[in-house]
């Protein structure tokens, strides 16, 4: 069934001195999620936010708390973020070996949240094959994780298409999220390829009119997605 593209503004690019106002603004503008980038300074070369901030955010908005764990030890920390109010937790396949990826997904589900798996730009999408039927969402990184404001890596849309095809082959339909360099020019590329959720940082929060920018990215993504679906056999469903 056709679902419109949703925007997940990344608060890593927000004004932390006015975070409450920024959250209210994106909620009013129609955001679908609050994207919370958790970095530990080890898995990625940056250190950001954690449990105390998530607790405050979860009390401040009805938007889905979409927590992206860019950390070395997700199996240890997943329970912390579940308890703090995470409603969707994304773990990186690169730090979960063997059965640990499936174990992390099960842990998230047992905690009542949606489970997602993220892939860095050079990680083969085939690592998803053992868990594609279990995940609620796949996150394709279109930049190397660690810092906001980076440029979109050309060709990331092909990885979105590959995940969409893998899911169809498996008979499932997880959401596909894309994070990195997403704005009005790149949103159409990934949305046409099958992306459902677009993470936007500086494209929203650094804009002169952040609410207008959010709506513009959403509109660009939806227009491209509708055109792509219309070009396929049969009407939108």
The span from the CA of 197 to the CA of 192, in Å, is 12
- DSSP reduced 3-state for 68: strand
The span from the CA of 141 to the CA of 179, in Å, is 5
The span from the CA of 197 to the CA of 130, in Å, is 23
What phi and psi, each to the nearest 5 degrees, are found at residue 69? -90, 100
Contacts of 53 (CB under 8 A, 6+ apart): 36
The span from the CA of 227 to the CA of 106, in Å, is 36
Q: What is the DSSP string of 167-196?
A: HHHHT---EEEEESS-STTTHHHHHHHT--
Contacts of 223 (CB under 8 A, 6+ apart): 188
Active-site residues, by number, are 37, 179
The span from the CA of 133 to the CA of 128, in Å, is 9
């Amino acid at each position: 069934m056709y679902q419109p593209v949703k925007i997940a503004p990344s608060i890593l690019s927000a004004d932390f001195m006015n975070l409450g106002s920024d959250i209210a603004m994106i909620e009013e503008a129609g955001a679908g999620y609050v994207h919370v980038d958790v970095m530990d300074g080890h898995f990625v070369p940056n250190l950001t936010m954690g449990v105390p901030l998530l607790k405050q955010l979860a009390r401040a908005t009805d938007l889905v708390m979409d927590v992206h764990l860019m950390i070395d030890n997700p199996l240890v920390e997943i329970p912390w973020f579940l308890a703090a109010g995470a409603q969707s937790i994304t773990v990186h396949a690169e730090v979960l070996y063997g059965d640990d990826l499936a174990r992390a997904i099960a842990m998230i589900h047992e905690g009542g949240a949606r489970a997602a798996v993220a892939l860095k730009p050079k990680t083969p999408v085939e690592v998803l094959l053992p868990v594609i039927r279990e995940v609620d969402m796949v996150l394709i990184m279109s930049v190397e994780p660690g810092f906001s404001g980076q440029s979109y890596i050309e060709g990331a849309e092909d990885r979105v298409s590959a995940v969409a095809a893998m899911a169809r082959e498996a008979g499932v339909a997880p959401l596909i999220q894309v994070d990195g360099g997403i704005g009005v020019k790149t949103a159409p590329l990934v949305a046409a390829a099958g992306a459902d959720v677009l993470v936007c940082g500086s494209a929203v929060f650094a804009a002169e009119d952040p609410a207008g920018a959010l709506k513009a990215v959403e509109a660009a993504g939806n227009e491209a997605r509708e055109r792509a679906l219309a070009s396929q056999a049969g009407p939108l469903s």
